[in-house]
Structure 1
Amino acid sequence: MKILHAVRQYPPGVGGIESYVSQLAALQVRAGHDVRVVTLDKIIDGDGHRLPLEDVQHGVTVMRVPFLGSRRYPLAPGALRHFRDADIIHVHGVEFFADFAALTGAVHGRPLVLSTHGGIFHTRFAWPLKMLWFRTITRATLRRYRFVLASSLQDHGMFAGIAGAKVKLVENAVDIDRFANASSAGARRMIYFGRLAPNKGLETLITWFAAVRRLAPEWSLTIAGKEMGTQIASLRALAVTLGVDQAVQFCREPDDATLRDLIAECSTFVCASRFEGFGIAAVEAIGAGLFPVLSEIAPFQRTIERCGQGLCLDFASSETARDFLIAFAAFSSRPPSPAQLRERLAPFRWERVLVETQTLYAKALQDRPDEQRPIAAPLSEPA
């Protein structure tokens, strides 16, 4: 099968969607498919240089197109020339590529599926306008899609309201082996890693950490990631104001090797995010053996429910610092074994998602003329 993924950003871009799409595409190649990706030729919030128009990553052909307009809705009509040479187009996110693939459906004639990845609601910015867009433009766009793959229960509820029965729950898979067993169960250091973005609640996290320090001054905090709307300088200034600057370490854009070394000094993963489409980093952290302490939002509550360990709390309340210390003491006295972790994280493995996605691809192709239908690969895990 010839599969084309359309996504705004792709590695070397950093983030949850980039990680998910690159892993999915590489595993589909291993399963015997011809997989390509069309994406933008620059990294949003990057240094501005253009990336190669084409390269190959893990067997996946990556094709990049120039764009114009706002960083929030970049226009890249050059993607159309890549749409025709595919059996199915899998769009990620409800941004330009989603609308454009639907609008040009009569030209390219390819069946479309879409993964939601949290929609457009990652921040409260322009919330009334976002809701209006979602209920009108996005609703019209999704009429052209055969299936909408909801990345979380939260997304399923939201998108079912505008796309009905075509919305199917395909919860994200995660590379749980990325930092496997890297943590130090008894360490008195916590870590946040991921995007440094406004929705991640990093100012709230540092303020809450100061409350932890007042009760247990041996604790320290590492914040690691790429600046994407939140600057390390401003976070460092807040730490100084709160008197915890000597206990807070920052690491800008760590690679995986550096991040593994940072995790090796930590026992706990903390995230005070106000919104997540799914929360991939939290699951990666659990795979590393870190104790997850997460905000009280639906995707995180679902993660804790599915893996059976961790704590959701209100980071805006200093009173919850004591709740954390009590829960951590219980966790550190009996941390899960590697075998227990593997069992708890089994629902997040890729085999399930590959089969579910391939099944929906096959259904999306059923109403095409016989001579246009590709021969689908067996629904089995990759070699």
Structure 2
Amino acid sequence: MIDPHEEVAPMQRMPPLVVHIVRQFSPSRGGLEDVVSNLCGQLMRQGWRVRVVTLDRLFRNPAVHLPASEMIGGIEVVRIPWRGSSRYPLAPAVLNHIADADLVHVHAIDFFYDFVALTRFMHRKPLLATTHGGFFHTPKYARLKTLWFHTATRLSGLAYDALIACSQSDAAMFRQIAGSRLRLIENGVDIEKYADASSSKPTRRLVTVGRFSDNKRLDRLLDVLADLRSRCSDWQLDIIGTPSDLSTDALRAMIDQRALFEAATIHVGVDEDEVREIFGRASLFISASEYEGFGLVAVEAMSAGLIPVLHHNAAYQALAARHRCIAVTDFARPAEGAAAIEAALARLQSNPLMRDEAKAAAGGYGWARVREAHMSLYRDVLQSRKPRTL
């Protein structure tokens, strides 16, 4: 028999479950995947429960079906089937895996962003979305994309409790459709994995990192390398990444067409230790990417002490405005790009402390700040959705 006067301990409430929805995840590698993985790890260390829902096939290898569920680094990963184009993969089974969520966090503006918004009347979950550059990564179909952004993307956005812009350039873009519901939380960067990895002495060796895709404009990097070598044959370029809409064979053909087979080296699927080793031979990081949501890889390079020379897209210009060690140029003009690279090396040679300046600048993007900003927003959204008592 229960004593009515006995003090009863309160029931232990389970920590909130945040379901992160992202189109590609491990074993796929890239900036978006790294951000989601790091955010989940940070949240778990603070006691939150997390789940990642993603697609069951990688865009670069769609014939292979991945396991339906898996634990990766302590993260529960659920994979669902999809059909259609990799640009807008259709995967309605996502709803089967958010029923027990306290909050749903969608990463990137794609099918998931629209579908979870459209079906909110069914699942009734608090919703957040992070922009990750939207879908303006290339100038292709620019008018259609702009029309879609101001209609479908704006309409879907009304279902979200908040939209998170991961860069200053994204904030400027999405504020047009989200207004006061926009929150700026710039991407966190793992600044430890490549810390201080670059060559301690200035060298004519360049490195670039990223998917082999059209918007990264590796062709322009190779044109610039050819221009550099016409001035000094010592210049070398390491290209680190994984195939995407540009295959390794196609990239190798581009190198051969420019007679750069002795100057440009491709590294596919290398692990972090190998990346550190490659960074250890280089002094400059270069990127001709036409569009970036934030510029995460550039910040990782800075943490290694590499000096970035970047194409003048909006995200890179925003980074350069904050950090003197970054140079921006127009990689569409090989001579101009080559001159910017030579100037960056000359500055490093005359001022070796630039390397320390780059590392210090990267330190401001550590995950502690980003984690706290996300948790604060999560709590605000969850609190606002609690039933009010009289």
**TM-score computed with the length of structure 2 as normaliser:** 0.91
**Cα deviation 1:177-202 (Å, max 9, x = unaligned):** 12111111422211111111100011
Question: Is residue 247 of structure 2 the alignment partner of residue 231 of structure 1?
Answer: yes
Question: Is residue 359 of structure 2 the alignment partner of residue 349 of structure 1?
Answer: no
Moved more, 17-26 or 357-366: 357-366
Output the CA distance in 2 between the equivalents of 1:147 and 1:47.
33
Output the CA distance in 2 between the equivalents of 1:230 and 1:279.
20
Deviation at 1:306, TM superposition (A): 3.0
Contact 2:305 2:359 in 1 (8 A): no
**Cα deviation 1:331-365 (Å, max 9, x = unaligned):** 13433388655532232111111111111112212
Deviation at 1:132, TM superposition (A): 1.6
Question: Is residue 243 of structure 2 the alignment partner of residue 222 of structure 1?
Answer: no
Moved more, 226-235 or 139-148: 226-235
**Cα deviation 1:290-349 (Å, max 9, x = unaligned):** 111111112112223334312111112233223321221221343338865553223211
Output the CA distance in 2 between the equivalents of 1:275 and 1:48.
29
Residue among 104, 122, 132 paired with 1:107 = 122
Residue among 156, 181, 186 paired with 1:171 = 186
Question: Is residue 212 of structure 2 the alignment partner of residue 200 of structure 1?
Answer: no
What is the match of residue 175 of structure 2?
A: 160
Deviation at 1:38, TM superposition (A): 0.7
What is the match of residue 157 of structure 2?
A: 142
- Counterpart code for 1:332: Q
Question: Is residue 276 of structure 2 the alignment partner of residue 269 of structure 1?
Answer: no
Contact 1:308 1:344 in 2 (8 A): no
Unaligned 5+ segments in structure 1 are 373-383
Moved more, 223-232 or 4-13: 223-232
- Counterpart code for 2:314: A
Question: Is residue 49 of structure 2 the alignment partner of residue 29 of structure 1?
Answer: no
What is the match of residue 279 of structure 1?
A: 295
What is the match of residue 96 of structure 1?
A: 111
Q: Percent identity?
A: 38
- Counterpart code for 1:362: R
- SS of the equivalent of 1:246 reads coil
Output the CA distance in 1 between the equivalents of 2:207 and 2:244.
18
- SS of the equivalent of 1:345 reads helix
Contact 2:306 2:358 in 1 (8 A): no
Moved more, 155-164 or 257-266: 257-266
What is the match of residue 361 of structure 1?
A: 378
Unaligned 5+ segments in structure 2 are 1-15
Contact 2:24 2:58 in 1 (8 A): yes
Residue among 327, 331, 334 paired with 1:318 = 334
- Counterpart code for 2:384: D
Question: Is residue 95 of structure 2 the alignment partner of residue 80 of structure 1?
Answer: yes
Output the CA distance in 1 between the equivalents of 2:114 and 2:247.
32
- Counterpart code for 1:206: L
Contact 2:196 2:359 in 1 (8 A): no
Contact 1:276 1:299 in 2 (8 A): yes
Tell which structure's C-alpha radius of gyration is larger. Answer: 2
Contact 1:54 1:61 in 2 (8 A): yes
Output the CA distance in 2 between the equivalents of 1:230 and 1:52.
26
- Counterpart code for 1:259: V
- SS of the equivalent of 2:222 reads helix
Output the CA distance in 2 between the equivalents of 1:161 and 1:131.
12
- Counterpart code for 1:262: I
What is the match of residue 320 of structure 2?
A: 304
Question: Is residue 68 of structure 2 the alignment partner of residue 53 of structure 1?
Answer: yes
- Counterpart code for 2:95: L
- Counterpart code for 2:45: R
RMSD in angstroms over aligned alpha carbons?
Answer: 1.8
Output the CA distance in 2 between the equivalents of 1:123 and 1:201.
10
- Counterpart code for 1:92: H
In the superposition, relative to structure 1, how do residues 177 and 335 fare at CA in structure 2: closer, same or farther (>3 Å)? farther
Output the CA distance in 2 between the equivalents of 1:265 and 1:287.
15
Deviation at 1:159, TM superposition (A): 0.8
- SS of the equivalent of 2:243 reads coil
Q: Which runs of 4+ in 1 moved over 4 A?
A: 337-342
**TM-score computed with the length of structure 1 as normaliser:** 0.92
Output the CA distance in 1 between the equivalents of 2:83 and 2:329.
41
Deviation at 1:227, TM superposition (A): 1.1
